[in-house]
Amino acid sequence: MNKQPVALITGVSSGVGYATTLKFLSENIYVAGTARRAERLEQLQQHNKNFLPIIADVRDTSAMQAAVDQTIEQFGRLDLLIANAGLGHRGSIIESNWQDIKTLLDTNIDGVLHSVRAAVPRMQDGGQVILISSIAARMITPYAGFYAASKAFISSLGRALRLELESRHIAVTDVLLGRVQTEFNEKRLGQPGRGGSFPPAMPVENAANAIFRAYQKRPKQVVVRWVDRLMLWGNIIIPEWIGRKAMKQYKG
């Protein structure tokens, strides 16, 4: 059996997933990466022969099962899942388009569940699941409530999963990202032009490096920047004030 660690990363065709794939490949870790855009996966394959491109929609249970099968067939093992694929959304809880809400929840909740439930049974004991969540999961976020709730769902699930997988020594790490410079805002569903500007977005490489450190150190939770930790503290001490500030940004 191959001795090198093997990671399966979802959503590698852009942003955090793309940069994280490059980081892991540069550290001699084999990566199987999923997304729907084939041409972006081909670009990654050109970078490194240790990359396996897999076209798969995270909303499709059988596609994620097949992605795990392909990973193990190609590399002989699976040590790490990074459940990264995700979408944003802005809009009111009452008025948002129902199809947008369904797409968001299918991607951010069902997509992560399909990935985790396909990968964990075939993962090496001592492996790791890294969930890419958001600081929004811990905040009051009017007009971004569906997105925040989708991430809170996954963070909550991660806390339970950690204990369930303890006997197999599989670590579960919840990465709460703040704003990152990616295509995320352009592709966000719902009402346009409500991105907000504070705090400024971090370079995507910073997120990728933090995810790699999370792989090395296996903490329960990661918040990458001090300004994001400050926002989370603010949300404990003065949650309503922070919520109203967020509303100003997101309501437009």
DSSP sequence for 86-125: ---EES-TTTS-HHHHHHHHIIIIIHHHHHHHHHGGGSPT
If phi over 0 gives left and psi between -120 and 50 gives alpha, with beta otherwise, what is residue 227? alpha
CB-wise, 37 or 220, nearer to ligand NAP? 37
By the rule CB under 6 A, 134 interacts with ligand NAP: yes
Q: How many CB atoms lie within 10 A of CB 116?
A: 22
Residues in the chain: 252
CB of 73 to ligand NAP, least distance (A): 20
CB of 156 to ligand NAP, least distance (A): 16
CB of 147 to ligand NAP, least distance (A): 7
By the rule CB under 6 A, 250 interacts with ligand NAP: no
Phi, psi of 113 (to 5 degrees): -60, -45
Interacting residue with ligand NAP among 9, 180, 224, 246 (CB under 6 A): 180
CB of 106 to ligand NAP, least distance (A): 7
To the query of whether residue 147 is one of the catalytic residues in this protein, the response is yes
CB-wise, 36 or 77, nearer to ligand NAP? 36
By the rule CB under 6 A, 85 interacts with ligand NAP: yes
CB-wise, 151 or 191, nearer to ligand NAP? 151
How far from chain centre, in Å, is Cα 171?
16
Which string of x and - marks every residue 103-132 that binds ligand NAP (by CB under 6 A)? ----x---x--------------------x
CB-wise, 47 or 168, nearer to ligand NAP? 47
Beta-strand pair 128-134/89-90: unpaired
* Euclidean distance between CA atoms 69 and 101, whole angstroms: 30
3-state secondary structure of 202: strand
Interacting residue with ligand NAP among 5, 53, 86, 158 (CB under 6 A): 86
Q: Which of 236, 201, 206, 200 is nearest to 222 (CA)?
A: 206
* Euclidean distance between CA atoms 178 and 197, whole angstroms: 12
3-state secondary structure of 155: helix
Of the residues 30, 143, 147, 215, which is catalytic?
147
CB of 175 to ligand NAP, least distance (A): 8
Give the footprint of ligand NAP on residues 34-73 (CB under 6 A): 35-37, 40, 57-59
By the rule CB under 6 A, 205 interacts with ligand NAP: no
CB-wise, 70 or 124, nearer to ligand NAP? 70
Residues with catalytic roles: 147
